[in-house]
């Protein structure tokens, strides 16, 4: 597996509405998409910075992954996503290297990407996402 770039950085926020103005007014970025990902129990907002995106994540359910994250840790960086050629191959390669997987197989994430997560226990505490755009 050789990632080509950081596809996005996921940031957990209490509220998209309250967070978008920082990125737009202070950083001068443009929110180009807001999307609900029902099976992740989140609403997302996206900004482009070169080839990398910022993905803001607002929980839609306190029992969902972002709801639990915010309850434990508060707002902040939630995960880093690396772009790879093929998520399924990259997940297999990570597993072969002894990495604990959250997803054994790629699944659909925001923006139609195939995504899969590596467990932070195996990635120095950073929840790590792999994604491809096939």
Task: Output the smallest distance, CB 129 to Zn ion, in A.
Answer: 5
Backbone phi, psi, residue 122, to 5°: -100, 0
Least gap, CB of 86 to Zn ion (angstroms)? 17
In the complex, the residues that contact Zn ion under the rule CB under 5 A are 10, 81, 129
Distance CA 30, CA 126 (A): 27
Q: What is the end-to-end Cα distance of the chain in Å, rounded?
A: 16
Length of the chain: 134
Report, in Å, the least distance between residue 36 CB and Zn ion: 14
């Amino acid at each position: 597996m050789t990632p080509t770039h950081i596809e996005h950085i996921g940031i957990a926020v209490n509220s998209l509405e309250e967070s978008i103005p920082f990125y737009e007014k202070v950083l001068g970025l443009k929110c180009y998409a807001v999307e609900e990902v029902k099976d992740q129990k989140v609403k997302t907002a996206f900004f482009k910075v070169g080839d990398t995106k910022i993905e803001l994540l607002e929980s839609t359910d306190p029992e969902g992954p972002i709801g639990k994250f915010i309850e434990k840790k508060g707002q902040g960086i939630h995960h880093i996503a690396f772009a790879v050629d093929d998520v399924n191959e990259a997940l297999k390669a990570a597993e072969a290297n002894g990495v604990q997987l959250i997803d054994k197989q790629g699944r659909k994430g925001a923006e139609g990407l195939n995504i899969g997560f590596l467990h932070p226990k195996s990635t120095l505490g950073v929840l790590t996402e792999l994604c491809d755009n096939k």
